[in-house]
Structure 1
Amino acid sequence: MSTWRPSEEAPQDFNMVLYDIEDESGNEEEPSGYEEICDESEIIEEEVYECHSPEAPPYSPLPSPQRRDRLPSMYEQPPSRIASRDRSRSPIFSSDIATMPVVVMLYEENGTQLGADGGDDVFLDPDTHALYVSPVERDRNERRENELRHGSRSGRRGGRTGSVRGRSARGYPSQGRRRARQWVLGYPLNEIWVDDADVPPELLRLATDVLRKRQTSMQDAERNAELESASESNSDDEFFDASNGADDLPRLEGQNLLFEWFPMDTFQGHEEDFKVERTGSVRVFNSAYDAFRSYWDDDVLNLIVTETNQYATTIASTGFQSEWYPTNLHEILCLFSFWMMLGIVKMPTIVSCFSVDPLLKTEVFRRIFTRRRYEMLIRALHFVDSNPVVDNSNPSNTGARCYDRLHRLRPIITHLNSRFQSNYVLDKNICIDESLTLWKGRLNFKQYIRTKASKFGIKTFELCEASTGYLWSFIVYTGKQSATELEQSPGVLKSTAVVMKLIGPLLNKGYRLFMDNWYNSPLLARFLKLNGTDCVGTLRPSRRDVPLIVNKAPLKRGEFIARHSGDVSILAWQDKKRVTMISTCHGAYTALPTVPTRPPSRPVPFKPQVVLDYNKFMGGVDMKDQMLEPYLLERKRCAKWYMKLFKRLINVSILNSRTLLQSSTKKHHDHLAFRLHLVDYILQKHLSHCPLSRSHTASISRSLHQQPDRFIRSTHWPVLLEPTESSIARNRNFAKRCVVCLQNGLKSQKTPYCCESCKVPLCIKDCFKAYHTQSSQKL
């Protein structure tokens, strides 16, 4: 096996190789027009779940709530006020006054208020918006709008005006800085039916009937038996998640499970105190290799080596057995680096990686493996004994179901789940969502998710950090058999069991968990709140215990209604469609988006704060998937599904390693440069220790013995000493004292020659031979 970089030094910085720029971690200031480009940070915020409110046929249509003076729609042309605003974080509560409330007040240079004669204006928060727009800035903004209106483009290509620095334009309002920009502010949201006395009697009668039917159904034992039989007869590849099904959490026994809903003016919910003292990497990592080996240590690699060598002996192929030789830990790591380079250098096929054609030749792959050795290694790669483990803990598993469907990868999944959790402490905001590993072959637990990029594949439930996308815990979905791994109790929905399994080690620490409507329910939110964890997310209006007033209220665009039951609040907001949210730490207050995406000519809409926080912190899993997309190790076709999932886990561990290094060094590391550093270090350290084939070793030995006598198998040759600058300036030959002569007492004897390998000055006549023979051992 050849060595990596035998005659050249490794590049000091891959950022210079990739982008021809110096390390960005320095303290030098960037030019004013500089825009940081990070492929992995261009994250698309996940849209909240939107649904149409179902109607109740037996009852007459509900009238719209009557108000004395209704505020005009925010999408009409209001007599708006214009102000220069960078960002807004302070919540703005809705107002019940008939006149238009002032959101922004403007001041002259001398501090006098514009329009001070209007004595009814009230400024809500002095820190919410900018207070002053100078005449010069106003003229410049008007000129800029005129240029955009008439098709004149200035600044950077694409017609985007204003300099954007950092990540503020990519959904990270807490970082970077944006120039002042004019915004037209819309009207605040209107809350309807603030008190129960405002609710129409038709809706009260409807809610009373539903509550009466629900109490009757809860006392009906036959209905519970039907739900249990329906869950057992459900298809093997689907979760039983009936929208109105029972969800019995044993840990809530003795608690108040009755949800009585009240107006939001009595809501006293508070955010849990975060009890974790230190977040980020548990220990300090100084290189990409150290962070990566914290997940792939010698124990798990030796397991792979042992199982691979054992399985290779059982392959019934004469050609394979004649050419196979055992692998070792170093070769497995080089195999990982081969796959990493396949994610960076996109090759059409595996065969083309070893091509010598000038159009396809790529030196890095041919220097790691030969084509034959790579094919044999892939064929023999194994992680566990081929005999599957019988699962007798679930009586419903009969026939093929009694075998663990993940037994081929079970040691790897268990090991990585443990290491992901032990190496990193999560920040406060976390999220749970699904991810999909592409697989289009035959597989009895293959899933289809239309919102994912892969559409078909192996589904995993993942708990990630919202800000970095760090994968902390995951569960591979295997159909109905997943109930055993989830430790699902009778009567508990599988969506609830997934949350309890993933969030279990983090309870009572003050985390804030974001989930979508498939997981959330009022009962689950109360369970998490009682265990010291806040719950925020979208909610299906048809879930059990959702108040009918919130579900059936006829909202118009820009209106919302909210109710609470102790520590759980539910809010319905009408935008383009109806959005229902649930939270244990948000009230009914509203705010402006911190990074508006609308052009300055359109009004910036107010949104409920719970919606803004959900859009900001729910994208952790999608962020991880988007950062992995340019470097997919599993892109090439695989004959075995578990090999594709194994490559996916390696890729995720690389991304987690980058997060560990950034947390340790407190510096940003370019994703591509990080992967190149990792591959280069692995090949430098392990490629020379990979095993050689018997035929290759025999051919080397035979070639050495068959060489003619005139061939000297040595690297010690006399060469001239390299001259110094002073000797070149004086035009003299450079010489040093001979070490042999110096040992023999001849201190004045100098020589211009030295040994090429030893770098020792020696006289070429006798001293060179004496130094390299046994007679000079005393030297």
Structure 2
Amino acid sequence: MDSERNEREGNERRISWRRGEQRGVRGQRVGVRGYPSRGRRGNNQWEVGHPLNEIWMNDEDVPPELVSLATDVMRKRQMKMQGVIKVERNNEREVDRETENYDEFLDASGGADSHLSLEGQNFHFEWSTMKSFQGQEENFRPERTGSVYAFDSAYGAFRSYWDDDILELIVTEMNLYATKIQSVTFQSEWYPTNVHEILCLFSFWMMLGIIRMPTATSCFSVDPLLKTEVFRRIFTRRRYEMLSRALHFIDSEPAVNNPNPSNISAARSSDRLNRLRPIFTQLNYRFQANYILDKDICLNESSTLCEGTLTLKQFNETKASKLGIRTFELCESITGYLWSFVVYDGKQSSTDLMQTPGELKGTAVVKKLISPLLNKGYRLFMDNWYNSPLLARFLKLNGTDCVGTLRSSCRDVPTLINKAPLKRGEYIARHSGDVSILSWQDNDRVTMISTCHGSATALPTVSSRPPPPTRPIPFKPQMVLDYNKFMRGVDTEDQMFEPYLLDIKRCAKWNMKLFKRLLNVSIQNSRILLESSTQKNHNHLAFRLSLVDSILTYHLPYCPQGRRFTISSSISTHQIPQPIIPSNTHWPVLMGRSAATAARNRSFRKRCFICLREGRKSQKTPYCCETCQVPLCIINCFKLYHTSQ
């Protein structure tokens, strides 16, 4: 009876401790540290502007119930590591079979990261109070940062990413792919493209990001309310549609519109990102070769909005584009320069990430992106999807500091940090060698991990617009302040893109939408290169306009001349209709083989040159001049064209 009563009383004490309260000698409720609990509105209520209160600075202050709980957890973990406790693998295999068709993100709390534990280093954690913490930042080794080469123009910086080699590859694949498009109309009107025309296509998209048009067709409208000369100066509507349809980067399919679907499926590569592999490789190499990052860098994910059914799409509720193609990006914290990236491809991304069995996906992403920067003294900021004590120690042993948020349920997080009841304005911190973990209660509970911060607190740096004197400035842990300051690189990049999105219009192909985003990234990185070279700030809009003007000046005169006339009233490189010389050979003829063919097939109808020049809305005409080969309406327009000077 005594043993049962003692066990019941022990359970009641444990339950009352978990509720955050105990009973005093007279039934008074007291806190877990022994003093009376006054509630949020008591005399001990913390107020904004006062220093934070660190609890349980010594191990003697920890309640016995929590010490017992932490001891049990550590003992079970050690027994499990020694093989005393055997885990039932059969149930796990059945669960794996049920979920093998579902691709989901595994975070650091999903289990042990066995790969890091096999590195042969000390990955055993014994947590102590912060009095003995002696963590220091790594020495930053690069002698200089910023642009590797000196650039004096937007065009030069942009061409450092899109050189002739990658453009020649695009031209070759486009011309090859165009020959496989099984369309009589397309084949009759297509003529090979070149590098100059591809760059003009890039400039067309840049202007489409600056001048928002409802549809791509409206760019070529002659309506006075929609008419925009810059688009009609670069391309005709038909040529732009053909280039967009033929744009290709790698020969992954033997034919287009193949009547036998089984042949197409057999010829396609199992790599779903194969269509953009040359672009990924080129840009990743150029992004890294052209720029040296500053000390503070951040790693986060970005999402490219994509509609329709696509297996590459992932859901992320924290992003504006909640459902889209996810990209992991390593950026410079201050400027937002994108240094390297990996496009997430579901389960197949394990090959790109070089993920080994037993390694968490978040760890594989970090190692893939940070591997060229190890042992150089960088300070990496990440969120709780990537962070874990094991990863933090791995990075510290490889000369890289790590700072970020942490999930309190993550493996190897001390039970003291996870279970300690905190009131607003209180925090608790512990360290294990060079890894420190801090849990702070603000409006919500925040858990942080760092390899270069202690438990120091400070006031935020006063911004250019300080708060009013009546509003106190709150104290915060220093690692929280640094995290808020330097974990904004990817967000800064997205904010720069927002006014000039190239992928905002619907694309028939998902790879075109992702390609336009990467093109936009290269433009943003080009601006950062120019600012680093000239040590001057450059307005984003002025930079893009200067880049478009340079491309059109250098390359528009050398685009293929596939037609003899142009409808643009601005300067153009295409042949403008020559003055009419009186002759008896100007007769109207059908552009098709016969009147019946022209009536059935609208591809033999063209818009009247005079109607377009005068800004009139007209139907397409099947007639043209036999000598001039200019489409003209029989009534009035034919006579006006040949009699006007």
| Partner SS state of residue 241, structure 2 | helix
Letter in 2 for 1:617: F
The code of the aligned residue for 1:460 comes to T
Corresponding residue number in structure 2 for 1:636: 505
The structure 2 residue matched to 1:198, chosen from 45, 56, 61, is 61
- How many angstroms does 1:57 deviate by? 6.3
Q: Is the 8 A contact 1:325 1:694 kept in 2?
A: no
Q: Is the 8 A contact 1:236 1:479 kept in 2?
A: no
Q: Deviation per CA, 1:422-462, whole angstroms, max 9, x where unpaired?
A: 00000000000010011011101201112211211100000
Contact map agreement 2:116 2:390 (CA 8 A) in 1: no
The answer to whether the aligner puts 1:431 opposite 2:431 as a matched pair is: no
Q: Which AA in structure 2 matches 1:203?
A: L
| Farther off after superposition, 445-454 or 348-357 | 445-454
How far does residue 525 in structure 1 lie from its aligned partner after superposition?
Answer: 0.2
Q: Does 1:504 align with 2:403?
A: no
Deviations 1:491-541 (A, max 9, x none): 110010000000000000000000000000000000000000000000000
Structure 2 residue 454 is matched with structure 1 residue 587:
yes
1:376-395 → structure 2 map (5 Å cutoff): 376-387=242-253
Q: Where does residue 3 of structure 2 map in the other structure?
A: none
Instruction: Classify 1:420/1:644 alpha carbon distance in 2 versus 1 (closer, same or farther; 3 Å).
Output: same
- Aligned residues between the structures: 539
Instruction: Give the whole-Å Cα distance in 1 for the aligned partners of 2:225 and 2:542.
Output: 25
* CA offset digits 1:90-111 (Å, max 9, x no partner): xxxxxxxxxx9xxxxxxxxxxx
Q: Is 2:379–2:400's contact at 8 Å kept on the other side of the alignment?
A: yes
TM-score w.r.t. structure 2 length?
A: 0.79
Runs (4+) off by over 6 Å:
56-59, 67-78, 398-402, 700-703
Q: In the alignment, what sits opposite 1:405?
A: 272
Among 554, 576, 581, the residue aligned to 1:707: 581
CA contact (8 A) 2:17 2:32 kept: no
Q: How does 1:310-321 map to 2 (within 5 A)?
A: 310-321=176-187
Q: What is the aligned partner in structure 2 of residue 612 from structure 1?
A: 481
Cross-structure match for 2:262:
none
Asked if 1:691 corresponds to 2:563, the answer is no
When residues 204 and 255 of structure 1 are mapped into structure 2, their CA distance, relative to the original with a 3 A threshold, is same
Equivalent positions of 1:229-268 (< 5 A) are 233-241=99-107, 243-250=109-116, 253-268=119-134
Aligned 8 A contact 1:73 1:187 in 2: no
- 1:355 maps to amino acid: S
- Residue of structure 1 equivalent to 2:335: 468
Tell whether the 8 Å contact from 1:271 to 1:534 is kept in structure 2 after alignment: yes
Equivalent position amino acid for 1:466 in 2: S
Give the structure 1 partner of residue 530 of structure 2: 661
Q: Are the equivalent residues in 1 in contact too, given 2:564–2:576 (CA < 8 A)?
A: no
Q: 1:702 Cα deviation (Å)?
A: 12
Within 2, Cα distance between the matches of 1:249 and 1:74? Answer: 49
User: Are the counterparts in 1 of residues 253 and 268 from structure 2 also a CA contact under 8 Å?
Assistant: no
Distance 1:617 1:674 in 2: 26
Share of identical aligned residues, percent? 68
Q: Displacement of 1:286 after TM fit?
A: 0.5
TM-score by length of 1: 0.66
Match of 2:74 among 207, 211, 218: 211
2:49 is matched with 186
Distance 1:604 1:75 in 2: 22
Name the aligned partner's letter for residue 650 of structure 1: L
For residues 756-777 of structure 1, the C-alpha deviation after alignment (integer angstroms, 9 at most, x for no partner) is xxxxxxxxxxxxxxxxxxxxxx
**2:533 is the alignment partner of 1:670:** no
Quote how far apart the aligned CAs of 1:256 are: 1.6
Distance (Å, rounded) in 2 between the aligned partners of 1:359 and 1:426: 46
Task: After TM superposition, give the deviation of residue 215 of structure 1 in Å.
Answer: 2.4
Structure 1 pair 354/694, CA: closer, same or farther in 2 (3 Å)? closer
Pairing of 1:594-605 with structure 2 (within 5 A): 594-595=461-462, 598-605=467-474
Go from structure 1 to structure 2 and tell me whether the alpha carbon gap of 1:558 and 1:598 turns closer, same or farther (over 3 Å shift). Answer: farther
Q: 1:406 to 1:584 in 2, by over 3 A?
A: same
- Equivalent position of 1:333 in the other structure: 199
**For the aligned residues, what is the CA RMSD?**
2.9
Task: Name the residue aligned to 1:443.
Answer: 310
Quote how far apart the aligned CAs of 1:68 are. 7.6
Match of 1:275 in 2: 141
User: Which structure has the bigger radius of gyration?
Assistant: 1
The residue aligned with 1:483 is: 350
2:636 alignment partner in structure 1: none
- What CA deviation, in whole Å up to 9, does each residue of 1:394-416 have, x standing for no partner? xxxx9999700101101001110
Contact 2:114 2:358 in 1 (8 A): yes
Change (3 A) 1:425 1:251: farther
Paired AA for residue 226 in structure 2: L
CA–CA distance in structure 1, aligned partners of residues 437 and 535 of structure 2: 39
Cα offsets for 1:577-622 (capped at 9, x unmatched): 1100000000000000113675431221110000000000001001
SS of the residue 1:256 aligns to? coil
Query: 1:212-236: per-residue Cα shift (whole Å, max 9, x none)?
Result: 2222333245456766775674444
Counterpart of 2:503 in 1: which secondary structure? helix
Paired residue type of 1:571: L
CA distance 1:308–1:402, change in 2 (3 Å): closer
Question: Is the CA contact (8 Å cut-off) linking 2:404 and 2:483 kept in structure 1?
Answer: yes
Please give the per-residue CA displacement for 1:281-316, whole angstroms capped at 9, x wherever unaligned: 001000000000000000000001000011111111
The amino acid across from 2:19 in the alignment is P
Contact 1:436/1:455 (CA < 8 Å) preserved in 2? yes
SS of structure 1 residue aligned to 2:402: strand
Deviations 1:36-88 (A, max 9, x none): xxxxxxxxxxxxxxxxxxxx96975344344789999899999xxxxxxxxxx
Q: Which amino acid aligns with 2:534?
A: T
Residues 68 and 205 of structure 1, relative CA distance in 2, 3 Å threshold: closer
Match of 2:19 in 1: 61
> Normalized per residue, which structure has more helix?
2
Deviation at 1:692, TM superposition (A): 0.9
CA distance in structure 2 between the partners assigned to 1:261 and 1:402 by the alignment: 50
Give the corresponding residue for 2:632: none
Aligned residue type for 2:434: D
Do residues 324 (structure 1) and 190 (structure 2) align? yes
CA distance in 1, matches of 2:215, 2:550: 26
Secondary structure of 2:275 counterpart: coil
Q: Do 1:227 and 1:245's aligned partners in 2 also have CA atoms closer than 8 Å?
A: no
Distance 1:230 1:419 in 2: 43
Contact 1:401-1:481 at 8 Å conserved across structures = no
8 A contact 1:189–1:558 mirrored in 2: yes
2:550 pairs with 1:681: yes
The residue number in structure 1 matching 2:640 is: none
Structure 1 Cα separation of the partners of residues 552 and 181 of structure 2: 29
For residue 26 of structure 1, what is the aligned residue in structure 2? none
Runs of 5+ consecutive residues of structure 2 not aligned to the other structure: 1-13, 22-30, 255-264, 567-573, 584-645
